[in-house]
Structure 1
Amino acid sequence: MLREAMKSYYAPLLILLFFGVMVSVDKLFSKKIKRLFLLEICLLLFLIAVTWLDHYFAFMGDNGGAWRLRSIAACLNFAIGPCSPMILVLIYDTGVSGKIPKLFYVPQIINFTTSVLSIWSGWIFTVSSGNVYSRGPLFPMSLTVGFFYLLTLIVFSARQQDKPNRRAETIYLTAAFLGIGSAACLEVFFGLDFMIWNVSSVCVILYFLLLTTQKILYDSMTGTYSRTAYERQMEKLDFKLPCTVAMIDLNNLKQLNDRYGHSAGDEAICSVTAAILKQKSRHMKLYRYGGDEFVLISSRICEAETDRVLKTAQEQCIAVFDMPVSFSYGIAVHQPGDDIHKAILRADEAMYQNKEKMRNEK
């Protein structure tokens, strides 16, 4: 039995241990998110151990009190299993709003209580004195609660309309849901052991890598793409694809910082980006080029549309304290076969001309 467990769980155990070290030394995430990931790793290790003990006690037959130990192992598996996807939701929400309503925990509380009572009631499972395991009428409860939290994670992602990578993130989370669901079906209906927590371990690690990619490619303060993502996009567009480029720079940011502090400057930057993100079309992407400099790139030749989007966004910028928030911009068109950096330079020159024009109009 030990040999069978080692064959099934050696690789996941080793990977989870290395993953724990990776999370511990990570410098991108907050302490709270790192603690939640480490808690998730410990939980998966515990569930793997409990699952193996359940199989080990089943292998012992009706010797001694093996059935009692098996009841405890089965109870722990059912009671704690849904905590794994629940922690993933907490990780996700910590990076978005950090506010989870108390009702969120109710399904798991009900599942935990029912699982513990099943030792005597048999609602979810029964282990007879002869060490014979059987399913109770509420057997699907634990899986249902776990899938509820996974679906909650997908819904949370899909609702982040202004998030640059919302679609890719939602597709990944849906694929993870289907992967864990298929593993559960194989284990429940076909008797293939050690499936759920193996697949769950892989999904958690891939989820961490997904969030790491977000940290690198997306700017957390403004919700735009990062400078790294901008440089990758330049490599893709250079000499190859047509596009429209707009260089954007905030006006009077230094005066705002000097008068009200840098937090007010950050608020102005977020006001501008929120207005542009709200107005831009799907074929447009907004990149943070520098502190208060941004680049709006459209995959189409649409100079007039880009100008309309930025003019509308200009009108919707929210003032900070008593100072109006505005930005200057310049637009240029890039044709296939041309150097994309020349288009960027033309847009930059047009932006400075626009800034000078706005300064003279005051």
Structure 2
Amino acid sequence: MFLDALQSYYAPAIALLVFAVMVITDKLFSKRIKRLFLWEVGLIFLVIADTWADYCFSGLSTGEGVKLRTLTTFIHFAISPCLPMILVLIYETEDSKRFPRWFYLPMAINIVFSILSIWMGFIFRVSRENIYTRGPLFFITFVVSVFYLLSLIYCSARQRGKPNRKAETVFLLLFLIVIGFAIMVEIMFHLHFLVWSASEAFVILYFLLMTTQKILYDPLTGTYNRIAYEKQLEKINGHSECTMAMIDLDNLKNINDEFGHSSGDAAICSVASAILKTKGKHMWLYRFGGDEFVLLSNRLNADEMKKILKAAQKQCEEIQGIRPCFSYGVAEYRLGDDLNHTILNADLDMYRHKKNLKDI
């Protein structure tokens, strides 16, 4: 029994240690985000060790075996909902976005009932014969875990202007479905090592997904960055047609000089947000430089693209009483064309637009 449990969790334990090293040495995330992931690693390691120990203690029929199994069962139920809760805290990045105190109430209720279950059997019971059975309030831990998993999905889905928001939300929905399926399989077939191995795999994949965001997305505006833009050009060149718009903010230097660079950043974000809100599907916005953006579409023609950008002009929010504006140039790329020449045409069209605005 001891060796069976050890073999089942040997590989997940090694993977957790490697993952912990990845988190510690990561250079993309803030200390707070890395700390939350390390807490997640620590708790997963704890519940894996706890499940392993519980499996070993289940073969003991002595009084000590009963006490040890009661302890491992308590740890399992008390800690389980902490794992999705910590992932939710990743979205709590600013003082203005702190979760209210009631957010922690389900976790507190679960811990209290888990403690009381040691004597009163609300959630679980371990008999004198060292036999585990579910209590009448067994569902509490699962309800609390589902609450935090749904909170995680909600926080992901409500992110505004994030280019891969839908992909992230779908990933977390899949996480919920797989964990639910793993729980049912464990209960039906009396397995012990499925749920936490699946949870560990998804946490690692979630970290890699967030790493991809850091590499391919601009942290200031939430748009795709220049690396993503260059990769997209490689896919387009000689393979598919597209319409592109070169976009450049007007009078950004004046805003920086008069109100400071923080206001200049706010103006850049205002323009990016306006375009993200106005653009439709099959359109991708890239931050090419400091105040330069590129909008690509494989469905729209030049006239339709210009209508989108005109509408976005009206959506820009005022910064220090000034509504940011931008110039743009549009060009169509067709198979057989020189892609670099199309980019140059869009750039020249943008400068003509900028000159026309200055002459008004």
Using the size of structure 2 for normalisation, the TM-score is 0.96
Give the AA of the match of 1:196: V
Output the CA distance in 2 between the equivalents of 1:137 and 1:110.
15
Residue range with higher mean Cα deviation, 172-181 or 71-80: 172-181
2:132 paired residue number = 133
| CA-CA distance at 1:315 after TM superposition | 2.3
2:339 paired residue number = 340
Measured on the aligned residues, the alpha-carbon RMSD in Å equals 1.6
1:40 paired residue number = 40
Q: Does 1:195 align with 2:194?
A: yes
Asked if 2 retains the 8 angstrom alpha-carbon contact of 1:248 and 1:330, the reply is: yes
Cα deviations by residue, 1:120-158 (Å, 9 ceiling, x for unpaired): 111111111221211111112212211221122112222
Tell me the SS of whatever aligns to 1:198.
helix
Asked if 1 retains the 8 angstrom alpha-carbon contact of 2:223 and 2:285, the reply is: yes
Q: Does 1:181 align with 2:180?
A: yes
2:153 paired residue number = 154
| CA-CA distance at 1:97 after TM superposition | 7.1
1:83 paired residue number = 82
| CA-CA distance at 1:243 after TM superposition | 1.2
Output the CA distance in 1 between the equivalents of 2:63 and 2:323.
79
- Give the total of aligned pairs: 360
Cα deviations by residue, 1:264-308 (Å, 9 ceiling, x for unpaired): 110110111111111111121110001100001111142122111
Aligned counterparts, 1:278-293, within 5 A: 278-293=277-292
Pair 210,97 (structure 1): closer, same or farther in 2 beyond 3 Å: farther
Tell me the SS of whatever aligns to 1:338.
coil
Pair 195,95 (structure 1): closer, same or farther in 2 beyond 3 Å: farther
Cα deviations by residue, 1:314-346 (Å, 9 ceiling, x for unpaired): 123223224441111000011122232221111
Residue range with higher mean Cα deviation, 138-147 or 219-228: 138-147
Gaps of 5+ in 1: none
Aligned counterparts, 1:283-362, within 5 A: 283-361=282-360
Output the CA distance in 2 between the equivalents of 1:97 and 1:184.
36
1:30 paired residue number = 30
2:6 paired residue number = 6
Output the CA distance in 2 between the equivalents of 1:305 and 1:70.
67
Output the CA distance in 2 between the equivalents of 1:253 and 1:184.
55
| CA-CA distance at 1:95 after TM superposition | 8.5
Output the CA distance in 1 between the equivalents of 2:192 and 2:283.
48
Pair 355,346 (structure 1): closer, same or farther in 2 beyond 3 Å: same
Asked if 1 retains the 8 angstrom alpha-carbon contact of 2:223 and 2:286, the reply is: yes
Residue range with higher mean Cα deviation, 326-335 or 132-141: 132-141
Give the AA of the match of 1:183: A
Asked if 1 retains the 8 angstrom alpha-carbon contact of 2:63 and 2:128, the reply is: no
Asked if 1 retains the 8 angstrom alpha-carbon contact of 2:255 and 2:263, the reply is: yes
Residue range with higher mean Cα deviation, 120-129 or 335-344: 335-344
Asked if 2 retains the 8 angstrom alpha-carbon contact of 1:240 and 1:337, the reply is: no
Tell me the SS of whatever aligns to 2:220.
coil
Output the CA distance in 1 between the equivalents of 2:95 and 2:303.
34
Pair 322,98 (structure 1): closer, same or farther in 2 beyond 3 Å: closer
Asked if 2 retains the 8 angstrom alpha-carbon contact of 1:244 and 1:302, the reply is: yes
Using the size of structure 1 for normalisation, the TM-score is 0.96
1:112 paired residue number = 111
Tell me the SS of whatever aligns to 1:65.
helix
